[in-house]
Amino acid sequence: MTTIQKPLRSRTRQARRQRAARSPRWLLIGAEVGLPVILIAAWWFASAGSTNIFFPPLQTILARLWQLTQTSEFLIDIGSSLGNLVASFVIACLLGVLLGLALGTSRFLSWLLEPVIHFFRAIPPVALVPIFVSLLGFENETRILSITVAALFPVLISTIDGVRANDETLDMVSRVYRLTWSERLFEVVLPAAAPRILSGMQVGLIAAFVVMIASEMLGSSTGLGAKTLLAQQTFTIADMWAGILLLGIFGYLATFLFELFRRRVLRWYIAAQQQERQL
Amino acid sequence: MTSTPSTAGHSDERPVRLDVSGLKKTYTTKKGDVPVIDDLTFDLRQGEIACIVGPSGTGKTTLLKCLAGLQPITSGQATIDGHVIDGPPEELALVFQEYTRSLMPWLSVERNVELPLRHLSLSAEERRQRAASSLEAVGMAEAASKYPWQLSGGMQQRVAIARAVAYRPGVLIMDEPFASVDAQTRFELEDLCLRIREQFDMTILVVTHDIDESVYLSNRVIVLGQRPAKVTDVIPIDFDGPRDQLTTRALPRFAQLRSEIFELIRKAG
């Protein structure tokens, strides 16, 4: 037993040495928080005395943003935008994984459907919005459909890839130990494909965010995108900046929350990769 | 094989668990049929360890896949406890050579061992018990909550063996199980293999390319000839008393058996 444990111990010693050689944690966190702070400060001071109507002082923008958040109409806009984003993203993830599993495991289905999928994937999702508007009108369903379609393809394609890349040995293990259909799906196939699936979801989330804004800018009167465009067209420039700023914040938060989710789901994967790097 | 040695003790009277008779395996390719295994016949009795050795490329892995029901047998048949193998048999467990790829990295050691037990009709308590006792048997009880990638190669292979043992197979098949671990670990795992056989009265078939290993481990060494594989000879291994890495390997009889097998393989190749 002792002879087996020895290499492990030296591995961790080596790991500690490597960890010490890397930048300390506080410096990394400091840089992550510090850079945005510096950028905001630069914006604040550079714009402080601005008389340029298109480039109002940051102070004015923030004051306007604060004012806006006090109005119920603005809160409804935010709710509508984020509601659409979350609902569509969740639908896209579920649909993408389900379809991806089917296409990844069935040779016939993938042979049948893959050319179509790659055709639609090649069209930028924003370009599809006008089609949906002309087909479905200006209702909220149009926006949900647009966002869902945008987020669907990255999830779908990464799921197909993930399922196909499944290791042959694990497949034999599942067969030899006669795992049931659902055990194979939930304990082997999905976890093995999870790293790729979640990368696809990450890309899907960004696409969804872009299309959320675009779909609101095309013939909608509610939502942050619509309000920001309206402000630009009516020369309420502070409102426009406030909208853009808020969109940036929400975009950041969305990616941040997703990253937390990813780290939770892929704990084993991230830890295993770290281990591998340290060896 | 009727030439089962009487020197292997009482194993003659024990029931046959694995019976391979006239097994043939042919791959169909564009250029025609390529025979890989030709008319293979041998059997394995309860509590016996047999090793299959042969030059590389003789279709040893193909044979294992056939026995594990992962590939169809072209003609002849193989039975486990009288049941004809035509798909992965219930009574069989397999330990793979690639330990890094045969465990699920997203499951803890314990859950890896329990996974194949879930669809057996066991209570949750029995299942935990079985997993715990087989982890205990391979000396990995303390690592139950660890993940495979936190363990060294030899330890991962122990877990894979524990998973097979927990399944309580009639026949345990190992495909070059110790080929990718260091020499020291290999000796430990060989002894582990012998211990498991004692403790669970397990019937074990090991494929190996290591002649010393085959002599040390088995009651019988089955020597396969060149492609298409057929049994060249079956060598009974007749050491008295328990085996020991130092003393058994130092026996004159050990050297004699080793050169006998080596000669056979060289002739076959």
Q: Looking at residue B269, what is its pLDDT?
A: 62
Mean pLDDT of chain B: 86
Q: Looking at residue B108, what is its pLDDT?
A: 95
Q: Answer whether residue B135 is part of any domain.
A: no
Which segment of B15-24, B51-60, B68-77 scores lowest on mean pLDDT? B51-60
Q: Answer whether residue B127 is part of any domain.
A: no
Q: Which residues of A touch B139 (CB under 8 A)?
A: 1
Mean pLDDT of B114-123: 89
Nearest CA in chain B to A180: B119
Q: Answer whether residue B233 is part of any domain.
A: yes
Q: Looking at residue A19, what is its pLDDT?
A: 57
- Angstroms from B44 CA to nearest CA on chain A: 20
ipTM of the complex in this document: 0.87
Angle ∠(A184,A189,A191) on CA atoms, nearest 5: 115
pLDDT confidence band for B235 (50 / 70 / 90) = confident
Q: Answer whether residue B99 is part of any domain.
A: no
Q: Answer whether residue B249 is part of any domain.
A: yes
Angle ∠(A79,A81,A83) on CA atoms, nearest 5: 60
- Cβ distance A177 to B167 less than 8 Å, yes or no, reads yes
Judge residue A235's burial from the number of C-beta atoms within 10 Å of its C-beta, 0-12 exposed, 13-18 middle, 19 or more buried.
exposed
Q: Answer whether residue B146 is part of any domain.
A: no
Q: Looking at residue B228, what is its pLDDT?
A: 74
The answer, yes or no, to whether residue B154 has pLDDT greater than 80, is: yes
What chain A holds in terms of domains, given with CATH numbers, is 63-278 (1.10.3720.10)
Interface of chain A against chain B, CB under 8 Å?
1, 3-4, 7-8, 167, 169-170, 172-173, 175-180, 183, 187-188, 191-192, 194, 268-269, 271-272, 275-276
Q: Looking at residue A96, what is its pLDDT?
A: 97
The whole domain housing B37 covers 1-91+210-269
Higher pLDDT, B222 or B268: B222
Tell me how many domains chain B contains.
1
Which segment of A101-110, B140-149, B164-173, B233-242 scores lowest on mean pLDDT? B233-242
- Angstroms from A101 CA to nearest CA on chain B: 19
Q: Looking at residue B178, what is its pLDDT?
A: 87
Q: Answer whether residue B48 is part of any domain.
A: yes
The answer, yes or no, to whether residue B101 has pLDDT greater than 80, is: yes
Q: Looking at residue A249, what is its pLDDT?
A: 92
- DSSP-assigned states of every residue in chain B: -----GGGGGGGTSPEEEEEEEEEEEEEETTEEEEEEEEEEEEEETT-EEEEE--TTSSHHHHHHHHTTSS--SEEEEEETTEE-SSS-TTEEEE-S-HHHHS-TTS-HHHHHHGGGTTSS--HHHHHHHHHHHHHHTT-GGGTTS-GGGS-HHHHHHHHHHHHHHT--SEEEEESTTTTS-HHHHHHHHHHHHHHHHHHT-EEEEE-S-HHHHHHH-SEEEEE-SSSB-EEEEEE----S---TTHHHHSHHHHHHHHHHHHHHHHH-
The candidate with the shortest Cα–Cα distance to A191, out of A156, A166, A174, A169, is A166
Mean pLDDT of B26-42: 85
pLDDT confidence band for B100 (50 / 70 / 90) = confident
Enumerate residue ranges in chain A where pLDDT < 70: 1-22, 279
The answer, yes or no, to whether residue B86 has pLDDT greater than 60, is: yes
Q: Which residues of B touch A171 (CB under 8 A)?
A: none
Mutation test of the interface with chain B: which of A1, A3, A4, choosing the one with the most B Cβ atoms within 10 A?
A4
pLDDT, tens only, A200-229? 999 999 999 999 999 999 877 888 899 999
Q: Looking at residue A131, what is its pLDDT?
A: 87
- Cβ distance A172 to B139 less than 8 Å, yes or no, reads no
The answer, yes or no, to whether residue B8 has pLDDT greater than 80, is: no
CATH number at residue B30: 3.40.50.300
Higher pLDDT, A171 or B241: A171
Q: Looking at residue B126, what is its pLDDT?
A: 92
- Angstroms from B213 CA to nearest CA on chain A: 20
